[in-house]
Chain A
Amino acid sequence: MAFTIKVNGIAHSVDVDADTPLLWVLRDVLGMCGTKFGCGIALCGACTVHLDGTPTRSCVTPVGSIGNQAITTIEAIRKTPQGKAVQQAWLDLEVVQCGYCQSGQIMSAAALLTNTPKPSDAEIDAAMSGNVCRCGTYQRIRAAIHHAAGMRED
């Protein structure tokens, strides 16, 4: 059946089953490939998007459950002050290695800073431990989140 979803401010009508995860709607139907597939069962966070600002694993979010919630993906996160700061911090501290998980890391980090502008290490751990990075960029992710938090005050 057809669903209308709002992605990065634009409404899209998609004709898929209601149980289709948002991840595959974004990647395979809408061709927005910045959101990544990693595990399929919400264990790695590579597919993280925001639904009304809340970080959400799109691989286990049926399209039929979304309704009117605004979907934000990595392609548009720069439009939020937190997203922009996080992306800049990622560049400043050279966080990235292979880069595959980083869309999800950035989406989780941007959501964290929205709710907790000055997170402690423990708050970073709590917010980010659902995002796996096999290249092992965690130390820089932590530093970059602190860096982004500082940036927003300037």
Chain B
Amino acid sequence: MSVELKAQVEGFFGQYGGAYVAETLIRNLEELNREYARIKDEPDFRKEIADLLKNFVGRPTPITALHRLTASHAGAKLYLKREDLTHTGAHKINNALAQAILAKRMGKTRIVAETGAGQHGVAVATACSLLGLTCVVYMGAVDAERQAPNVQRMNLLGAELHLVHAGQKTLKDAISEAIRDWITNVEDTHYLLGSAVGPSPFPDMVRDFQSIIGDEARAQILEAEGRLPDYVIACVGGGSNAIGMFNAFLADPEVKLVGVQAAGEGLESGKHASPLLKGTLGIIQGSLTYMLQDADGQILETHSIAPGLDYPGAGPQHSHLKDTGRVEYTSINDKEALLAFEELCRKEGILPALESSHAVAYALKLLDTLPSDALVLVNLSGRGDKDLSQAIAALKDIKQSEVLV
């Protein structure tokens, strides 16, 4: 067993994690911890999840080898793990369904959730619609505006949507409001947190429910190539798709793991969302982890064109994986992500989410430096329909400014 796996003691990953929350919430977290430990390995529970993942979500998702984008790299191969092909269009559904089933088994009737890009909100609204649970979603007003199609979907699915006008009006503020709702409605409500962040046991639970991504991908690439990949790459906001992918490879030292954060307008511009590269240790939304903060401990504003990456803290396990060196964290800026978004559409017929485009952009850069027999696996965490209007406008801006130069 690897060092990383052994270090997970009582809600901490090394020194990271914990549950820094109001006393009122402790009972719920303890209940969740206890019930999750009791239910998670029950054959009945596993079967209910497995059936829905197969018959409702459409798993397993395939891995797809790229052809035209990699044509100039003779021999090197790049595979995408196609989470964009899941029902609702992103990896978020894996965790949303499993947690909703867990909540129902715990006797909860009402689900609250936050959403950034809207993908988690849509996934939760879908799970609640399927399972007959009341669904309340908090979304930053700025995010709601830039992800209008997902707002429409959540409404159609019957979710009660609350726009958050506090703070920066993005993901962090939505999480804060969802937590406040949970503090108020402790009896009947489960907080369905969508990323591997927040107080224990969420980072563990979300990783477990997302680890199907890596489990499938590992078996699929072994079958296709007869060996493990040299690199596994995923984008990291809070870090749920990345930890779900990395988990299966943590104990394979020959596989290099790379987490790609959002550099926004550049790491030196101050307008980015890269706490694992530029952050310091602090407590954000219940967890001790790397975060973007000023000298007084106030949380800094973040920027990324990808709303799902626009978050000032990293999941605590990622902070630990950074310190141990098991995962290398790097970044891709808005422009690089947008160009990869377009390239993947043009040359491979795949429309990626802007979040996932960060991982794709890094993989394409990396490919130039690799030997010809290299094997790279990228987690394509979601599809980009939600991003169309914003991405098209931003691409137009890029091209116009290039003409001017």
* Binding between chains A and B: no
